[in-house]
């Protein structure tokens, strides 16, 4: 354990003396959570503008138009005489969908035939497509059901019987967790865990890169043990990131009103091995960075791939097997997965035991590796001392 | 050979840069190795394209022919795979929480009997909306399966009353919405996500390599030598230095587009405009890099700012969550990213088949970056190059 305090002090001083590193360990945690959720502040996409081409011009078609306009997800942005005119507005991005009410719309309903409403959606933006299709289908569905129930009650059924007859096998959809379907509540918590992961890995790497690039004036304490030095470094980052956890999930979550089903202590208990695994992985990778800039770039280039690899936005079932196996070595994968289960889905600790164990295993393996690398530093220094 | 490379001038700086590039492991990585690697990674990652067979649990409390038919129909949809059957709600919820399944279908007791008695018993589908993409697919497919089963039953009862099949269909479904997706007709997630992620990765490589190229001259105090090679003309120095990067990244941009089309992204508009747009995006980000280095006169600072600028970009470009739903502050920030304009042009020209005029404002915006950011950079940069006070800053 010799060298623990010396290295702890040396590492802390390296951080405190370097404004760039300070920015990474303190600034990012303040700025990102303020900026990143900004696009998603409305949480749900509402009132997507669509065009109506009403070639029917009857009270029924006008009623349909009103119902579409009244739906939460879409709004009628304009009436156009024909499809071509509406298409122009679409290309100009004035509307994001085109609903055509054909001239035979009301006649067909009267004759008891199915009246078809062509709806042109914008498949180039997934969320827009979903909201437009949902809003129009719901409005048309309500109108359709009304007509059908009218017909059925005309044959002598009660209203309740009529409703049962028109849909004998109804399906009720219930969203578990994130019931409002908020986009920010879906993406931001995972990104926050990723920020912890990335700033730790890269901050540590940047310190290593700076040491390599500009030479290290703080030499290894004499007769120190590799384990002691590694532990010394770990205990610089660990308390700091414990504070960040409290700030992210204790304070920011409340400000943004994100779902909070686990209590802070439970989250904390889960994130301890996550932090340890990430710090130790950082210490292992530290020596790969030969200059400061490369660490910074690594932070930038790896964030998006790691977010996808963690399997929260793209279902794990659809990730190719080799990539899925590779992702299991990153603390972010069990970290984000377990965090979402614990906090979003209200899972108990027993349910996330696999993730918890995996994180401890990673922490152990990366700790041993970090100690070995630190042990080799001794030889490096002896060699360096001989050279001059 | 020596005669081909003059002592000073455009070609001299150009060749000097090639040597610098070849000597820097970092630049070789960022300029030559990482772009194709990241393209390959994304293509591999999304190689399944359309999602299918997501695991769902079922709680069948009825256990009749009809309930088994429901399960069979759901399992037969492309999106859903009935993964296991559970014996109570808690157990089903557990499989969702552990990530084993994405949803739970609960079929009520006496379902078949109640249907025959005309009571319309509710089947309930619980989906885990923590994973939004999976949830919306499962919901869509389950709803479709149930509706077809339900209207099948209704149809039977109408036909039993003596109506013809067509009259019965008209009767049970007075209005039908025919959803047509002329743009991205396969609703393929690959087109939508990968097509966005590739340029997003590319822009990161463009901006960081340019910052490194300009910034390292100041950081390593080699600016005087650089200027000397350019025959004392700072602008020539800047142009000749960035030119190899422009060439290489434009080539990567063309490669990227060809790659996307090979993966099946449709090309409905002008291929020429798209190619010009990709090259303009490369130039726009190089201009922004020059601007940042010139303003900061400090590579570290410029690189930190560029990292922030590029790493938040994906949230603001308006692809996953569209710009129309963002507050105006977020929309303005999005407009300050060349990537936003490029992706708009990309979507217009590939998926939508928009006429060339419709993309001119996006194209113009890219050039606005080149002119404004690049112009400011060109005005400030000579001072930075000539004044040793700005050199070697850490």
d(CA A63, CA A69) in angstroms, rounded, equals 10
Which residue, of B139, B172, B205, is where some domain finishes? B172
What's the confidence (pLDDT) of residue A111?
Answer: 84
What's the confidence (pLDDT) of residue B125?
Answer: 92
Tokens of residue B154, six digits: 């209704």
Average pLDDT, integer, range B126-147: 86
In the predicted model, what is the mean pLDDT of chain A?
Answer: 86
B345 pLDDT exceeds 70?
yes
Please tell me if residue A107 touches chain B, with a CB cutoff of 8 Å: no
Which residue, of B147, B172, B197, is where some domain finishes? B172
| Predicted ipTM of the assembly | 0.88
- B229 with B355, same domain? yes
What's the confidence (pLDDT) of residue A110?
Answer: 87
What's the confidence (pLDDT) of residue A388?
Answer: 44
Establish if B127 belongs to a structural domain.
Answer: yes
Chain A residue closest in CA terms to B298: A20
- B347 with B210, same domain? yes
Provide the CATH topology of domain A48-166: abc type-2 transporter like fold (3.40.1710)
pLDDT tens digit sequence for B8-19: 889 999 999 999
Q: Which domain holds residue B59?
A: 54-172
End-to-end CA distance of chain A: 30
How many domains are contained in chain B?
2
Establish if B180 belongs to a structural domain.
Answer: no
Please tell me if residue A349 touches chain B, with a CB cutoff of 8 Å: no
Here the CATH number for the domain that contains residue B80 is: 3.40.1710.10
What's the confidence (pLDDT) of residue B147?
Answer: 85
B1 pLDDT exceeds 60?
no
Establish if B177 belongs to a structural domain.
Answer: no
- B208 with B279, same domain? yes
Q: Which residues of A353-382 are buried (b: 16+ CB within 10 A; e: fewer)?
A: eebbebbbebbeebbebbbebbeeebeeee
Q: Which CB contacts under 8 angstroms, 24+ apart, belong to B133-138?
A: B133/A313, B133/A314, B133/A315, B133/B51, B133/B189, B134/A315, B134/B51, B134/B54, B134/B102, B135/A175, B135/B102, B135/B103, B136/A130, B137/B51, B137/B54, B137/B79, B138/B54, B138/B56, B138/B79, B138/B80, B138/B102, B138/B103
A102 pLDDT exceeds 60?
yes
pLDDT tens digit sequence for B147-178: 888 888 877 777 777 677 777 776 677 777 77
> Residues 285 to 324 of B: which have CB under 8 A from any A CB?
299-301, 303-304, 307-308, 310-312, 314-316, 318-322, 324
Average pLDDT, integer, range B238-250: 95
What's the confidence (pLDDT) of residue B209?
Answer: 96
Q: Is the dihedral of CA A361, A359, A332, A227 positive or negative?
A: negative
Q: For residue A174, which residues of chain B lie inside 8 Å, CB to CB?
A: 124-127
pLDDT band at B188 (very low <50, low <70, confident <90, very high): low
Please tell me if residue B148 touches chain A, with a CB cutoff of 8 Å: no
d(CA A143, CA B175) in angstroms, rounded, equals 8
Percent of chain A with pLDDT over 70: 96
A215 pLDDT exceeds 60?
yes
Rounded to 5 degrees, what angle do the CA atoms A228, A230, A231 make?
Answer: 65
The alpha carbon of B254 is separated from its chain's Cα centroid by a whole number of angstroms, namely: 17
- B300 with B206, same domain? yes
Q: Is B353 left (phi over 0), alpha (psi -120 to 50) or beta?
A: left
Average pLDDT, integer, range B312-332: 89
- Highest-confidence segment of A337-346, B217-226, B369-378: B369-378
- B213 with B301, same domain? yes
Residue B353: how many CB atoms within 10 A of its CB? 16
Chain B residue closest in CA terms to A308: B45
Please tell me if residue A326 touches chain B, with a CB cutoff of 8 Å: no
Which residue, of B138, B172, B206, is where some domain finishes? B172
Q: Map out the domains of chain A as residue ranges.
A: 4-40+183-386, 48-166
- B141 with B258, same domain? no
> Residues 39 to 78 of A: which have CB under 8 A from any B CB?
39-42, 44-46, 48-49, 64
Average pLDDT, integer, range B359-383: 94
Establish if B179 belongs to a structural domain.
Answer: no
What's the confidence (pLDDT) of residue A384?
Answer: 65
Establish if B228 belongs to a structural domain.
Answer: yes
Of A367-381, B251-265, B367-381, minimum mean pLDDT range = A367-381
User: Bridge-partner residues for A10, per DSSP?
Assistant: none
Of B174, B308, B347, the CB nearest to A147: B174
Establish if B287 belongs to a structural domain.
Answer: yes
- Highest-confidence segment of A70-74, A244-248, A376-380, B204-208: B204-208
pLDDT tens digit sequence for B73-126: 999 998 899 989 999 999 998 898 888 899 999 999 998 888 888 888 889 999
- B258 with B376, same domain? yes
To the nearest whole angstrom, how far is the Cα of A149 from the nearest Cα of chain B? 10
Establish if B277 belongs to a structural domain.
Answer: yes
CB contact under 8 A, A174 and B124: yes
């Amino acid at each position: 354990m010799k060298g623990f305090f010396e290295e702890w002090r040396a590492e802390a001083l390296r951080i405190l003396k370097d404004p760039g590193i300070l920015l990474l360990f303190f600034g990012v945690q303040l700025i990102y959570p303020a900026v990143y959720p900004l696009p998603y502040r409305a949480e749900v996409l509402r009132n997507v503008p669509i065009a109506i081409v009403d070639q029917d011009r009857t009270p029924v078609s006008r009623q349909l138009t009103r119902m579409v306009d009244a739906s939460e997800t879409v709004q009628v942005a304009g009436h156009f005489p024909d499809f071509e005119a509406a298409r122009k507005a679409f290309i100009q991005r004035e509307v994001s969908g085109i609903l055509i009410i054909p001239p035979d719309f009301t006649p067909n309903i009267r004759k008891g035939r199915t009246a078809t409403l062509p709806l042109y959606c914008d498949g180039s933006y997934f969320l827009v497509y979903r909201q437009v299709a949902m809003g129009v289908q719901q409005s048309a569905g309500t109108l359709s059901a009304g007509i059908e129930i009218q017909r059925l009650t005309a044959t002598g059924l009660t209203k309740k019987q009529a409703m049962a007859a028109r849909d004998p096998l109804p399906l009720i959809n219930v969203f578990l967790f994130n019931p409002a379907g908020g986009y920010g509540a879906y993406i931001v918590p995972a990104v926050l865990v990723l920020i912890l992961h990335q700033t730790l890995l890269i901050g540590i790497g940047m310190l290593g890169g700076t040491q390599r690039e500009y030479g290290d004036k703080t030499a290894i304490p004499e007769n120190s043990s590799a384990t002691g030095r590694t532990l010394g470094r770990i205990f610089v980052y660990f308390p700091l990131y414990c504070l960040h956890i409290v700030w992210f999930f204790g304070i920011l979550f409340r400000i943004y009103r994100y779902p909070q089903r686990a209590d802070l202590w439970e989250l904390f208990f889960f994130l301890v091995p996550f932090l340890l695994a990430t710090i130790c992985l950082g210490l292992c990778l530290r020596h790969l960075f030969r200059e400061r800039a490369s660490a910074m770039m690594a932070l930038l280039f790896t964030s998006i791939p790691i977010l996808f690899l963690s399997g929260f936005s793209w279902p794990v079932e659809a990730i190719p097997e080799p990539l899925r196996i590779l992702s299991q070595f990153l603390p972010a994968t069990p970290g984000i997965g377990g965090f979402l289960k614990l906090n979003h889905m209200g899972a108990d600790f027993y349910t996330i035991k696999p993730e918890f164990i995996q994180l401890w295993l990673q922490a152990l393996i990366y700790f041993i590796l970090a100690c070995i690398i630190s042990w080799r530093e001794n030889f490096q220094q002896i060699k360096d001392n001989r050279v001059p | 050979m020596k005669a081909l490379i003059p002592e000073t001038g455009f070609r001299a700086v150009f060749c000097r840069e090639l040597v610098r590039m070849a000597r820097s492991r970092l630049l070789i990585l960022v300029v030559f190795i990482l772009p194709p690697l990241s393209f390959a990674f994304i293509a591999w990652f999304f190689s399944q394209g359309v999602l299918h067979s997501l695991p769902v649990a079922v709680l069948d409390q009825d256990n009749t022919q009809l309930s088994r038919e429901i399960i069979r129909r759901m399992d037969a949809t492309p999106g859903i795979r009935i993964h296991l059957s559970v014996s109570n709600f808690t157990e089903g919820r557990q499989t969702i929480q552990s990530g084993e399944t994405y949803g739970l279908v609960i079929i009520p007791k006496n379902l078949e009997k109640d249907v025959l008695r005309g009571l319309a018993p509710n089947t309930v589908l619980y989906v885990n909306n923590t994973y939004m993409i999976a949830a919306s697919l499962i919901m869509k497919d389950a709803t479709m399966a149930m509706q077809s089963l339900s209207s099948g039953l209704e149809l039977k009862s109408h036909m039993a009353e003596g109506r013809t099949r067509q009259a019965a269909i008209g009767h049970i479904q007075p209005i039908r919405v025919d959803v047509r997706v002329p743009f991205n007709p396969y609703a393929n997630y690959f087109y939508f996500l990968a097509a966005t992620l590739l340029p997003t990765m590319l822009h990161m490589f463009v901006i960081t390599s340019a910052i490194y190229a300009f910034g390292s001259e100041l950081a390593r105090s080699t600016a005087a030598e650089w200027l000397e090679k350019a025959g004392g003309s700072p602008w020539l120095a800047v142009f000749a230095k960035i030119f190899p990067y422009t060439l290489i990244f434009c080539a990567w941009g063309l490669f990227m587009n060809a790659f996307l089309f090979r993966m099946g992204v449709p090309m409905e508009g002008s291929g020429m405009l798209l190619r010009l747009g990709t090259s303009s995006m490369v130039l726009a980000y190089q201009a922004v890099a020059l601007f940042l280095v010139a303003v900061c006169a400090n590579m570290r600072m410029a690189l930190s700012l560029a990292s922030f600028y590029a790493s938040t970009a994906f949230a603001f470009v308006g692809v996953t969550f569209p710009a129309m739903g963002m507050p105006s502050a977020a929309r303005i920030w999005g407009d300050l990213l060349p990537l936003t304009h490029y992706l708009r042009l990309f979507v217009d020209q590939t998926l939508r088949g928009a006429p060339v005029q419709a993309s001119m404002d996006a194209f113009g915006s890219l050039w606005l970056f080149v002119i404004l950011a690049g112009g400011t950079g060109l005005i400030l940069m000579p001072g930075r190059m000539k004044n040793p006070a700005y050199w070697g800053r850490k």
